[in-house]
Structure 1
Amino acid sequence: MEKLQTIQDVVTFINETHFAFLYVSQEDCSVCHALRPKVTELLKSYPKIKVREVEADKVKAISAEYLIFSAPTSLFFIDGKEYLREGKFVQFKKLANAIEQIYSFEEIH
Structure 2
Amino acid sequence: MKPVHTLEEYQDLLDQNPLVLTYITGTNCGVCSSVKPKIREILADFPDITALEINAHQDRELAAQLSVFTIPAVLVSVQGREHIREARYFSLEELRRRIDRLVALFSSAASPQPATSYPEGTPATPEIPTR
TM-score, L = length of structure 1: 0.93
Indicate conservation of the 8 Å contact 2:54/2:63, yes or no: no
* Pair 1:5–1:64, CA change in 2 (3 A): closer
Name 1:46's counterpart in structure 2.
46
**Residue pair 1:26, 1:72 contacting (<8 A) in 2 also:** yes
Question: Unaligned 5+ residue runs, structure 2?
Answer: 110-131
In structure 1, stretches of 5+ residues that fail to align are: none
Question: In structure 2, the residue corresponding to 1:108 is in which secondary structure?
Answer: helix
Greater strand content: 1
1:61 is aligned to 61
| C-alpha deviation, 1:48, in angstroms | 0.6
Higher relative contact order (CA 8 A, sep 6+): 1
Q: Deviations over 1:45-103 (max 9, x none)?
A: 11110001110111122232111010110000011100000101120111011001010
> 2:62 & 2:36 partners in 1: Cα distance?
18
Identity %: 22
One-letter code aligned to 1:35: V
Larger radius of gyration: 2
TM-score by length of 2: 0.78
User: What letter is aligned with 2:13?
Assistant: F
> RMSD between aligned alpha carbons?
1.1
**Equivalence map 1:17-36=2 (5 Å):** 17-36=17-36
Alpha-carbon offset, residue 16 of structure 1: 2.1
Residue aligned with 2:13, SS = helix
Q: Please give the secondary structure, in 1, of the residue aligned with 2:20.
A: strand
Distance in 2 (alpha carbons) for counterparts of 1:27 and 1:7:
19
**Alignment size in residue pairs:** 109
* Structure 2 counterpart SS, 1:47: coil
Measure how far apart 1:5 and its partner are.
Answer: 2.6
